[in-house]
Amino acid sequence: MALVGRPNVGKSTLLNALVGQKIAATTPKPQTTRHRILGIVTLECAQIIFIDLPGLHTRQPHLINRAMNTVAIGSMQDADVLAVMVDASRWTPDDEFVLEQVAAANRPFVLLLNKIDQMKDKKRLLPLIADLRERFGTDEIVPISALRSENLQAVVDALLRYLPEGPFLFPEDEVTDRSLKFIISELIREKIFLLTNREVPYSTAVHIEAFEDQGKLVRIDALIWVERPSHKKIIIGRKGQLIKEIGMRARKEIEELLGKKVHLQLWVKVRKDWQDDVRSLKDIGIEQ
Ligand SMILES: Nc1nc2c(ncn2[C@@H]2O[C@H](COP(=O)(O)OP(=O)(O)OP(=O)(O)O)[C@@H](O)[C@H]2O)c(=O)[nH]1
Ligand SMILES: [Mg+2]
């Protein structure tokens, strides 16, 4: 089951809500997710594998953007069913692109209309659904609020109708295929996305250099790549204020995740134009 949609519609928020744990970064900025992330939901009678994907987008200034789209489009082909997400507040050219890709993929899909909590006038919902039915040519439209976990059972029910029966592929207590290190690097990157603006967040990538479990304490060294020296200055901030804030916020969440005290050390290094460099993308696990 693959989650597709333009950036920022709420795919990763839904993934986290479904698995009941924060495994994917979510921010108000588009293009937060860069990787394919599996979320495993084990029910009494079934196990559903949700695949969160980078948002499909048409403006692709860098190699990383094209790689993100390639991952998303490639994953659509492999899925038994797609959950296609749109945002109730806005239809954009990127949604149009999603629509084209969904048609080209020729897979069964369920349409998720997210962020209905933001709709002040509930009377708009029916015409909006009618409009989407027309655009996508489907009756399977589920209005939800991923943020408030509203109507998620209907999502599961709709998808179960399309999923083939088979053995459980993962242990029942597992929620993702991603390593702890990956989730930690994403939590740090999320804080950078939340605390920086314009091109700066996109200029960063986070690599965990060291992870040492010392029993009561876990020591983590993380390296933040930036594309330019000016971005390094911004990330560090005046008197190191910003990097301190990023570190504090990330550490709090990592401690919750690990259930242990964490000593988090952040480093910043310029890696020029890494967003266009095949090797750098490989280093952070972005498939081509
Ligand atoms: N009001 C409201 N906000 C939501 C809802 N779902 C997600 N959001 C917000 O929308 C923003 C984007 O959410 P993400 O889950 O990061 O979106 P995404 O589709 O994964 O975006 P990309 O990873 O960039 O493709 C965040 O600020 C979320 O808090 C919702 O149901 N209601
Ligand atoms: Mg996402």
The rounded distance, in Å, linking the Cα atoms of 75 and 3 is: 9
| In a domain? residue 80 | yes
Whole-number Å distance between alpha carbons of 71 and 171? 26
- Domain membership of residue 166 (yes or no) is no
Q: What percent of the chain lies above the pLDDT cut of 70? A: 100
Q: Residues 9, 137: one domain? A: yes
pLDDT tier, 287 (very low <50, low <70, confident <90, very high otherwise): confident
Domain assignment present for 32: yes
Q: Report the mean per-residue pLDDT for the chain.
A: 97
Select from 125, 160, 195 the last residue of a domain.
160
pLDDT, one tens digit per residue, over 167-211 is 999 999 999 999 999 999 999 999 999 999 999 999 999 999 999
**Together in a domain, 22 and 133:** yes
Buried b (16+ CB within 10 A) or exposed e, 89-123: eebbebbeebbebbeebebebbbbbbbbeebeeee
Give the pLDDT confidence of 206-247 residue by residue, as tens digits.
999 999 999 999 999 999 999 999 999 999 999 999 999 999
| pLDDT of 267 over the 90 cut | yes
In a domain, 144, yes or no: yes
The residue among 98, 126, 160 that closes a domain is 160
Residue 288 has pLDDT above 80, yes or no: no
Number of domains in the chain: 2
Which one of 15, 26, 119 would you pick to mutate in the ligand 1 pocket, going by the greatest count of ligand atoms within 8 A of its CB?
26
Sequence-distant (6+) residues with CB within 8 A of 115 are 9, 10, 87, 88, 89, 145, 146, 147
31 Ramachandran zone, left/alpha/beta (phi>0; psi -120 to 50): left
- Give the whole-angstrom CA distance, residue 207 versus residue 176: 19
Tokens representing 151 are 């109507």
- Please indicate whether residue 8, judged by its CB atom, sits closer than 6 Å to ligand 1: yes
pLDDT for res 145? 98
Is the CB of residue 3 less than 8 Å from the CB of residue 50?
yes
C-alpha of 172 from chain center: 22
Residue 28 in any domain: the answer is: yes
Supply the residue whose CA is at minimum distance from atom 13 of ligand 1: 10
CB 75 within 8 A of CB 36: yes
Residue 161's pLDDT is: 95
Which residue puts its alpha carbon closest to atom 23 of ligand 1? 33
- The answer to the question of residue 169 being in a domain is no
Domain for residue 171, yes or no?
Answer: no
In a domain, 29, yes or no: yes
On whether both 147 and 203 belong to a single domain, the answer is no
Q: Do residues 155 and 185 share a domain?
A: no
Q: Note down the domain range covering 37.
A: 2-160
**123 and 193 co-located in one domain:** no
- Does the beta carbon of 275 sit less than 6 angstroms from any atom of ligand 1? no
Nearby residues of 168 by Cβ (< 8 Å), 6 or more positions away: 42, 47
- What SS3 class is residue 63? helix
User: Do residues 266 and 138 both lie within one domain?
Assistant: no
Any idea what the Cα angle at residue 145 is, between residues 126 and 6, rounded to 5°? 85
In terms of domains, do 143 and 246 share one? no
Name the strands in the sheet holding 37-42, side by side, starting at the edge strand that comes first in the sequence.
37-42, 47-52, 2-4, 82-87, 109-114, 141-143
- Cα–ligand 1 centroid distance for 52 (angstroms): 12
pLDDT (tens digit per residue) in 99-147: 999 999 999 999 999 999 999 998 999 999 999 999 999 999 999 999 9
Query: Do 83 and 19 belong together in one domain?
Result: yes
Q: What percent of the chain has pLDDT above 90?
A: 97
Asked if 269 contacts 57 with a C-beta cutoff of 8 angstroms, the reply is no
Q: Which own/partner pairs from 212-215 qualify as long-range (CB within 8 Å, at least 24 positions apart)?
A: 213/260
Last residue of some domain: 160, 188, 213?
160
Does 153 share its domain with 186? Answer: no
Q: Are residues 146 and 116 in the same domain?
A: yes
45: confidence class by pLDDT, cuts 50, 70, 90: confident
* Whether 147 and 195 share a structural domain: no
What is the domain-level CATH number for residue 73?
3.40.50.300
Residues 105 and 192 in one domain: no
Which residues fall within 8 angstroms of residue 97, CB to CB, at 6 or more apart? 6, 56, 57, 58
- Count CB neighbours of 31 within 10 A: 19
CB of 16 closer than 6 angstroms to any ligand 1 atom: no
Give the tens place of pLDDT for each residue, 64-88. 999 999 999 999 999 999 999 999 9
